[in-house]
Amino acid sequence: MGIDTHRDQINLSRWLIEQERNHGRIPGSLRLLIEQVARACQRISRAVSRAASSGVLGSLGSENIQGEVQKKLDVIANDVLLQANEWGGHLAAMASEELETIHTIPHRFPRGEYLLMFDPLDGSSNIDVNVTIGTIFSVLHLAEGAANVGPEHFLQPGRKQVAAGYCTYGPQTTLVLTVGHGVAEFTLDFDEGGFVLSRDHVQIPRTTHEFSINMSNMRHWAPPVRRYIDECLAGSLGPRGNDFNMRWVGSMVADVHRVLSRGGVFLYPWDAREPDRAGKLRLMYEANPMALLVEQAGGMAIAGTARILDIEPTGLHQRAAVMLGSTEEVALLQRYHAEQDPHSHTTIG
């Protein structure tokens, strides 16, 4: 069977223009901002694919604000995103996993009405071993009348995001995006020179028999998570009456992309290693954008009993427990959390 290489492809610009012109879902300034983020992701994709030959694998010898060792590509990706987005006139400020505080738009450029947050390169432990990594981003509206933009303007619950997405750098470079009206997936096409629509109206199946969690932390989990995973592991002989499969890439972008592609449940829950921390993943630029995408694709995203998108943030780099994916499984996890001792520490979030 021949492969049709001349299909009428819809590229990212056309899809965004149709959202703006035909559906009135986004203003032109948000369209231009998203196009600029996508161009930055294209540049990061190229830097990642050439990392070995251009000598930028490995660590930099420095730590970021969260005390994590920075990889050279973490810093390159961060710089690409900052530079690509500061001159366009659509942003008031940016915040990043790699920066302690916000990056305001230099005075020589016009200031816009949006705030952009990102994890420039998610999946640090996979950077040097040629396994899928990615960029996660979230867009908020700056509160009206804000004269001098500060970190406090970013502290809005995730349900207020006006756009969110991620880009995976794997066998294909894939951009997955929501502007609050469903989820669309675009794939980088080298002939086209940009992203083309590969799936629109992405939907996560309600049911699944696949879970994703770092099992090495099992002894540290809270009882509701332990109960849920124990029941999955018991398979057809246990209360679930079904065998479950497990997948764990170790890059949130790749694990969530699998959930958005064929269903599943992804967990990075609170655990007892650092009991005062809500979880490992960061709320503002990891949990929130993924939660919006998952909900827009018909799934659920919770931190325990609470919906992730309803968490009132208190800090740019705060952590959150994350459990997201196919509705039936996440609803069961929520029930198990609701049934646990209400005074237990693990009801955080």
Q: Which is nearer to Mg ion, 86 or 122 (CB)?
A: 122
Asked if 74 touches Mg ion (CB under 5 A), the answer is no
Q: How many beta carbons lie within 10 A of that of residue 6, not counting itself?
A: 5
Residues within window 122-151 making contact with Mg ion, judged by CB under 5 A: 122
- Region of 38-46, 84-92, 118-126, 296-304 interacting with ligand AHM (CB under 6 A): 118-126
Asked if 214 touches ligand AHM (CB under 6 A), the answer is yes
**210-212 vs 265-268, strand pairing mode:** parallel
State the Cα–Cα distance between residues 219 and 202, nearest whole angstrom.
Answer: 35
- The site map against ligand AHM for 276-295 (x = CB under 6 A) is ----x---------------
Asked if 124 touches ligand AHM (CB under 6 A), the answer is yes
Q: Which does 251 bind (CB under 5 to 8 A by kind): ligand AHM, Mg ion, none?
A: ligand AHM
CB of 122 to Mg ion, least distance (A): 3
By CB atoms closer than 10 A (0-12, 13-18, 19+), residue 22 is: exposed
CB of 339 to ligand AHM, least distance (A): 26
Q: Which does 268 bind (CB under 5 to 8 A by kind): Mg ion, ligand AHM, none?
A: ligand AHM
State the Cα–Cα distance between residues 279 and 271, nearest whole angstrom.
Answer: 7
State the Cα–Cα distance between residues 89 and 114, nearest whole angstrom.
Answer: 9
Residues within window 137-156 making contact with ligand AHM, judged by CB under 6 A: none
Q: What is the largest CA-CA distance in the chain?
A: 66
- Region of 27-35, 36-44, 182-190, 246-254 interacting with ligand AHM (CB under 6 A): 246-254
CB of 97 to ligand AHM, least distance (A): 6
Which of 57-79 are b and which e, b meaning 16 or more Cβ less than 10 Å from the residue's Cβ?
beeeeeebeeeeebbbbbbbbbe
- Mind giving me the DSSP string for 191-232? TTTEEEEEESS----S--SEEE--GGGGGGB-HHHHHHHHHH
Query: Binding residues for ligand AHM, how many (CB under 6 A)?
Result: 13
The residues that touch Mg ion, with contacts defined as CB under 5 A, are 119, 122
The residues that touch ligand AHM, with contacts defined as CB under 6 A, are 68, 97, 119, 122-125, 214, 250-252, 268, 280
